[in-house]
Structure 1
Amino acid sequence: MRYVRSVLSAAALAALTVGTTAALTAPASAAPNTTPQKVCGSSYKTVNSAAVGSLGTVYLTYNASNGKNCVATIRNTPGAVQEMSAWVGVPDTGEYDEDYGNYTSYAGPTYVYGKGHCVDWGGHIKNVHVQVTGTNCGALKENRVTFVR
């Protein structure tokens, strides 16, 4: 009888361990663990975005109180380290900021003063690059390019 209880206890413990592990494991298609506002700051509002293929999104945000733009590239599924970037520039003034490296979730923030100016911005995840030029400046038409290297 004692042997039966030990076997049953071990089986119950094994089932509990497997169930707990399954419950604590993140699903394969987990949602992003951040937002552009968490990366750039709560006063930055998203004004434009561009998909990085199926890997994520590059967000252009703007803070009306200080006139600054911020860019963040956010992966759809955080996980293993990937090469990523986020960048933003103002052609009129030559101001430019970039964040480039190996990240698990997002690249950025990158900031420039953009009030009253067109901005160029973009980023990449792995080998998919996005470049958006001449944006958020009134009547001018923006140019979007997505390419794989």
Structure 2
Amino acid sequence: MAVKYKIYQSKRNDRFKGRWYARAVHEGTVTTDDLADIMQDNCTVKRSDILAVISELVEVMRTQLQNSMRVKLDRFGTFKLGISTTSAEKAKDFTPGANIKGIHVLFQPELKIDAKGNRIQSFIYGAKVQEALPYDIEKEPETEENV
């Protein structure tokens, strides 16, 4: 189990043009139904019950978020709503219709503290990376000079 990546060369017109970076590769999408099937195999709860709970969770979270509440799912993370705005010269000139441009969801994954005191997001704790192969980048063979 590893997070796969491919390397790419920056084409941006800045001082990093031509530099090489890694980009995560996603090999597919796992749906709610897929998760329910996996979860059913891992515990005593039936797939239909899992789907019902997830469906209700989404509805309750929507209601709570729209009531200006944060929603914390233990061992998962915290959700809250944020707003995008433009400025007004004076406080009296600020109006929601003119200055609030949109609402968006913010998510903060739960953090773990490792043995060294570093904060690590729970979802990436213990993650490994592995180059996704094959793809069309020619790399120099590793030698002592270029390692």
More strand by share: 1
More helix by share: 2
Shorter-chain-normalised TM-score: which range?
Answer: under 0.3
Q: TM-score, normalised on structure 2?
A: 0.21
Structure with more contact order per residue of length (Cα contacts < 8 Å, sep ≥ 6): 2
